[in-house]
Amino acid sequence: MALNSFLRVDPEYRDYIWGGDRLRPGHVPTAEAWVVWEGGRIKEGELSGKTLADVCAQYGEALLGRRAVSRTGMRFPLLVKLLDCAQWLSLQVHPNDEQAAVLEGPGQFGKTEAWHVLEAKPDAKLIAGLKPNTSADVLADSIRNGTITEHSQYAGVSAGDTVFMPAGTLHALGPGLLIYEVQQTSDWTYRVYDWGRPETETRRLHIEKSIQVTRADLSAPIIPAPAHGDGSQHTLVRCEYFTLELLSTVSKPIELDTNNETFHALTVIEGKVKLQSTAESMQLGKFETVLVPASLGSYKIEPVDGECQILKSSV
Ligand SMILES: [Zn+2]
């Protein structure tokens, strides 16, 4: 059974202590908006109220596409979030698929992720990996004694930058960043260091697991914003789990096709757009997201008021 309408998903918010005031004005702190994920509920239309997991169970490949099904079966494979960082997030690391299966149980997935910087205060920084030539022993000792930030690779970033972090890369986001994050659907995060914040039931450190999965030889390069133009499409990251692209246009429509291969998760990050398929059209404003089912086929993105930019995640 084909699915041929654009799916708006209700964002779900998380109020972690490091959050800010940009994602949900009036609710401070709001740290994360989960905009596409298996538990997200469809906002309108025939499938209104169902979660993406429900829609996967009912429609399978029509939603996900051939490529996603061949890789991860019927589970919705990606999680897309917006993060508003007013303080440092915990320094953390994720296992890969094999490590997740060993450390957490059969069938558990690891997590590879990518960040795209939406807004950055002038001195905003993040941590992506370790300084060159950090040995495995120094890594393990400094995780155990809480001095890991001395060996962490800090990087200044600005709006438009992208960072790709394979599982095993030590990472943290710093204050002043608004981030788009795409990642594998997985719950496994090991907290390496939490900047001296008290450990609580829900914010524990995971010292031994962190030592097992952090790669001393990994640091993630900052990928600078590509030059973009009228109707341009740039691949920012392509890996075995997802592809992240930046689409931008001023006046030309951008024509896309899901080809039954993959869904497209589209998030407008600048301007306003009109989406047009053979069956319907809809408008999307800044920071709004829509999921295009794999069976929808061809559609167009048209700018509404001049320049617009869209991030597209797919598998
Ligand atoms: Zn992470």
pLDDT in tens, 243-289: 999 999 999 999 999 999 999 999 999 999 999 999 899 999 999 99
Query: What distance in Å separates the CA atoms of residue 269 and residue 173, rounded to the nearest whole number?
Result: 19
The model's pTM: 0.95
- Using CA of residue 40, residue 90, residue 109, residue 235, what is the dihedral sign? positive
List, in order, residues 6 or more apart from 44 with CB less than 8 Å away. Answer: 8
How remote is the CA of residue 160 from the centroid of ligand 1, in Å? 19
129: left (phi over 0), alpha (psi -120 to 50) or beta: left
Q: What is the pLDDT of residue 197?
A: 87
Residue 106 C-alpha to ligand 1 middle, in angstroms? 21
User: How far does residue 189's CA lie from ligand 1's centre (Å)?
Assistant: 7
**What is the 73 CA–ligand 1 centroid distance (Å)?**
23
Spatial separation of the C-alpha atoms in residues 72 and 191, rounded to whole Å? 26
Q: Residue 99 — φ and ψ, nearest 5°?
A: -65, -40
Q: What is the Å distance from ligand 1's center to 163 Cα?
A: 12
pLDDT digits (tens, 9 = 90+) for 31-45: 999 999 999 999 999
Cα dihedral: 227, 228, 233, 237 (round 10) = 40
Going from the Cα of 217 to the center of ligand 1, the distance in angstroms, rounded, reads 18
Output b/e per residue, 211-236; b: 16+ Cβ within 10 A.
Answer: bbbbbbebbbebbeeeebeebbeeeb
Q: Which structural domains are found in the chain, ordered by start?
A: 12-223 (2.60.120.10), 232-314 (2.60.120.10)
Q: State in Å: Cα 116 to ligand 1 middle.
A: 13
Counting as low any pLDDT under 50, the low residues of the chain are none
Under DSSP, the state recorded for 149 is G
- Residue 257 has φ and ψ, to the nearest 5°, of -145, 130
Ligand 1 centroid to residue 219 C-alpha, Å: 14
Q: What is the side-by-side order of every strand in the sheet holding 308-314?
A: 232-238, 243-249, 308-314, 264-270, 289-292
Instruction: Give pLDDT, residue 200.
Output: 87
pLDDT of residue 101: 95
Look up residue 30 and give its amino acid.
T
CA of 124 to the centre of ligand 1 (A): 18
Pairing relation of β-strands 125-130 and 162-165? unpaired
Residue 123 Cα to ligand 1 middle (Å): 21
> If you measure from the C-alpha of residue 291 to the centroid of ligand 1, how many angstroms do you get, rounded to a whole number?
23
pLDDT of residue 198: 85
